[in-house]
Amino acid sequence: MAVVFHPGLKAPAHPRVSVCIANFEGEALLPACIDSVQAQATDAAIEILVHDDCSRDRSVMLLRERYPQVHVIASDENVGFCIGNNRMVARARGDYVLLLNNDAALSPDAIDRLLEAAELMGRPAILTLPQLDWDTGILVDRGCLLDPFFNPIPNLDPVRDDVAYVIGACLWCPRETWRALGGFPEWMESIGEDLYLCGLARSRGLAVRALRGSGYRHRQGATFGGNRADDGAGLRTSIKRRRLSERNKTRALIILTPTWLVWPLLALHLAALLVEGIALSALRRNATLLREVYLPAIATPFREWNMLRACRNEAQATRTISVVRWFSAVRWQLRKVWMLARYGVPTVR
């Protein structure tokens, strides 16, 4: 159940854009995020919605005292990123929705650039902006490509705009398109829901595109246990993130991969997970990773077969793009092997 605090008189009566910010214990992060939305150099009417996922800090109090114009949905239980965003979009009134992480901040021209691109395209599309590191301003990605096993590969190509997916930290979509796609799958809870939504959109012939101008700064991993890679410190992540990530990538692979190619790729994927889990657990001399992350992911296709088969049948029945077009956003490399060679064994908390 969620308690809704209606915004004050400053909220626009007829918003063009609804900015939806999922928050969990982000009291220290929210001001920079919301201030960047309020500082947008645009004539478009913007409403701001925040879903607070049962935070134990003063996030809700901060919103009520400092940002009375914000539409706050305060959940009395922790429901995860998918449900939180679905709740916000269900209450959004704008023609477009922009999902924005609470640890991100928009450049002043961001919404104008997104709105201009969406209008010029003349057809529904999922869009994003260049993601910049919060501290350095260095480009992190312009959307992502995928390897065959649904591991993300940052798009750093300055002239490539069409991508496999855009991350939920800054995801722009027509509100009606979001509803047609069904929003985020709530059975994913968190992690991978953006990959899934964009994959479903691509399979139905919708563009998934990263713009070249403007941008947003992002404190990568500030809200969900790491997953930030540094040349000096290596890759840092968490048990919960890894568990959700491996499980949800497995689900997405089964549902979205077109034709019979799904089955050999799934077999290779599950075998690779088993080898990876055994190797990392042996290196750490601790079976926690194997037991809590890898074995549950390997069991997913068997434990959830009826649900996954139904979702796959529906997704493939509505697919309109060719197999060649689908795999145009796939890079035939082993992303995890590349990451291991560059950053070494990840630090898992």
pLDDT at 336 (0 to 100): 79
Q: Which of 218, 250, 281 corresponds to the end of one domain?
A: 218
The DSSP result for 299-317, as a single string, is: HHHHHTHHHHHHHHHHHHH
d(CA 18, CA 15): 7
In a domain, 273, yes or no: yes
Q: What percentage of the chain reaches a pLDDT higher than 90?
A: 81
Let me know whether 160 and 249 are in one domain. Answer: no
Give pLDDT, residue 334. 81
Query: Is 257 found in the same domain as 184?
Result: no
Residue 6: predicted pLDDT: 60
Residue 223 domain flag? no
Phi (first) and psi of residue 126, to 5 degrees: -100, 130
Q: Are residues 278 and 342 in the same domain?
A: yes
Which of 218, 249, 282 is the C-terminal boundary of a domain? 218
Q: In this structure, is residue 185 part of a structural domain?
A: yes
pLDDT at 285: 85
What value does the CA radius of gyration of the chain take, rounded to a whole number of Å? 20
Pairing label, strands 152-154, 144-146: antiparallel
3-state secondary structure of 102: coil
Residue keyed to tokens 């190619």: 261
One domain for residues 164 and 284: no
Q: Looking at the structure, tell me whether residues 72 and 170 fall in a common domain.
A: yes
Give the predicted TM-score (pTM) of the model. 0.92
- 249 and 156 in one domain? no
Does 71 map to a domain?
A: yes
Domain check: are 236 and 194 in the same one? no
- Residue-wise pLDDT tens digits, 11-50: 788 899 999 999 999 999 999 999 999 999 999 999 999 9
Cα–Cα distances in angstroms (integers) from residue 104 to residues 83, 220, 344, in the given order: 20, 9, 28
What would the mean pLDDT of 159-173 be, rounded to a whole number? 97
CATH number, domain containing residue 209: 3.90.550.10
Across 130-141, b (16+ Cβ under 10 Å) vs e yields bbbebeeeeebb
pLDDT at residue 69 tops 70: yes
Tokens at residue 281, please? Answer: 């657990």
CB-based contact 190:169 (threshold 8 Å): no
Q: Could you give the CA distance from residue 309 to residue 142 in angstroms, rounded to a whole number? A: 32
**Does 214 lie in the same domain as 294?**
no
Same domain, 179 and 253: no
Q: What pLDDT does residue 13 have?
A: 81
Residue 286, domain extent: 228-348
Contact 245, 276 (CB under 8 A): no
To which H or E segment does residue 171 belong? strand 170-174
Total domains, the chain: 2
Question: b/e map of 15-32 (b: 16 or more CB within 10 Å)?
Answer: bbbbbbbbbbbbbebbee
pLDDT tens, residue by residue, 214-268: 999 999 865 554 555 655 556 677 889 999 999 999 999 999 999 999 999 999 9
DSSP-derived secondary structure for 16-70: SEEEEEEESS-TTTHHHHHHHHHT---SS-EEEEEEE-S-SSSHHHHHHHH-TTS
Same domain, 25 and 131: yes
Q: Where are the beta strands (DSSP E) in 53-123?
A: 71-75, 96-101, 104-106
With residue 339 as reference, give the H or E element that holds it. helix 335-343
Same domain for 65 and 153?
yes
Tokens of 79: 């429901």
Whether residue 185 is found in the same domain as residue 259: no
Report the distance separating Cα 40 and Cα 38, nearest Å: 6
Q: Which two tokens stand for residue 185?
A: 């799958």
Instruction: Tokens for 337, please give them.
Output: 């092997």
Question: Domain end: 188, 218, 248, which one?
Answer: 218
